[in-house]
Chains A and B, each alone.
Chain A
Amino acid sequence: MMNEKQILERLESEIRPGKAAPRGLVGELTPVKPGLSTGAVLTVFAAVLTGITVGGGLTMGPPRGLLAMTVAQVMIVGALGVTMMGILGLAAAQGLRPGAKVWVNVRWANVLPLVGFLAVAAMIFPWRWMPENFIADGWGCLREGLYVALASSGGVIWLVRRGYVTNWAGLAGTLGAFCGLTGAALLHVMCPDQEATHLIVWHGGILAGGTLGGLLAGYLVLRGK
């Protein structure tokens, strides 16, 4: 019975040598800037998230959501947002550079913000469901959050143009989840209804909608290729 080394040596001897590069393979050359570093991708994510939440907060009136939360809730939600932004930033950085080191599993990274948000909303916010305005108020939140998510997609589309994508489905899901995260973050600052059911269904719906929208966009890109 052959051992591992012998199998590999035999395989090596049986594989035909590759052909030399044909003449004229290298065409027109223009200088290009090297790809974005992981730090640069994280910086863009942080800038988009901060810009949307602070800019939106300054232009859309008093931050009633922030004022309705306790200090502990603000700190926990803030830490969750920053952590999720970091995880999605790492996933995006590795998705934009072929052959980059794998820091996070993209599938997990894409669902983690939603799971984390639902868990935190269920654990640290009060359950005081009031059916009267549940749909009317919630629908307004969902719509505004999705508009914000759509607006933040401009920044991430710029990132895609600076990289090369080999896994469209995964990266589009990541970028969609990030856009959803920005929408949910702004609503957390602005929305006065900090009640668990409202947060889970409508604010969580923005995160879910962003991720699903991203996955759908990735699927459409793949179909078009």
Chain B
Amino acid sequence: MDDKQALVALMIGYQAADRTAAELLAAKVYPMLHRFYGSLGEYERADDLAQECWIRLHKARHSYRPPEPVLPWVFAIARHTRVDQFRKRSRSSGREVAMEVGADFAAPAAEAEPTVLPLLEQLPASQKEVLLMLKVTGMSLEEVARATASTVGSVKQKAHRAYETLRRLMGEQS
């Protein structure tokens, strides 16, 4: 049984209220969600977002239909969670006072000086998201298309444009 089939089996167990299946599913999916949010430039909020997303996945578990792939379902809800949180933040941002980020809360420094990751910030959100879904989660083009409610052609085009921009930016950097 490959990874994707195993996820489908766990999801079926989760829908049937099997605690072991639910815990195994959380153990597989939660780090992916955390990594996804963290790599989208939301490292400080990755914990909150991943937990909020898990709550939504739990509430929406009836909307999954086996044997469809599980990861597009998970990441469609993950995107939605992020957009909702962004909307809430932008509504309340006018009332917030900016604070200095203390050392304890700052993101830990990576061992090696990153070169590609900071450049992602210059990509449009949709291209960045597609690139990270392909790389962070290992989803296929078809699965990313499902998660982003678009077509395979559109995903290919976004990924291609993202590579082109990154290549150009790296050329300028060097």
Interface residue ranges, A against B (CB under 8 Å): 1-2, 4, 7-8, 10-22, 25-27, 29-37, 94, 96-102, 106, 162-164, 166-167, 222, 225
Contact = CB atoms under 8 A, between A and B. Distances in A.
B80 interface: yes
Nearest to A36: B65
Contacts of A31: 15-17
A223 to B, nearest CB: 10
Contact of B60 (A4, A164, A167): A164
A18 B146 contact: no
Contact of A102 (B43, B79, B149): B149
B76 interface: yes
Contacts of B14: 29
The 4 closest A-B pairs by CB, nearest first: A18-B35, A99-B72, A18-B31, A18-B34
B87 interface: yes
B110 interface: yes
Measured as residues with beta carbon below 8 angstroms from the partner, the interface class of chain B is 35 or more
A36 B135 CA distance: 31
Given A1-B170, A21-B29, A26-B22, 10 more contacts: A4-B167, A7-B116, A7-B166, A8-B135, A10-B115, A12-B135, A14-B115, A14-B117, A16-B39, A99-B64
Contacts of A15: 35, 38-39, 117, 132, 135-136
Given A11-B117, A32-B61, A99-B74, A166 B36 contact: no
Contacts of B102: none
B47 interface: yes
Contact of A97 (B29, B59, B65, B117): B65
A37 B74 CA distance: 18
B130 interface: no
Contacts of A11: 116-117, 120, 131, 135
Interface string B96-118: 00000000000010101011110
Contact of B150 (A16, A21, A37, A102): A102
Contact of A99 (B17, B43, B75): B75
Interface string B131-151: 110011000000001110111
B73 A20 contact: no
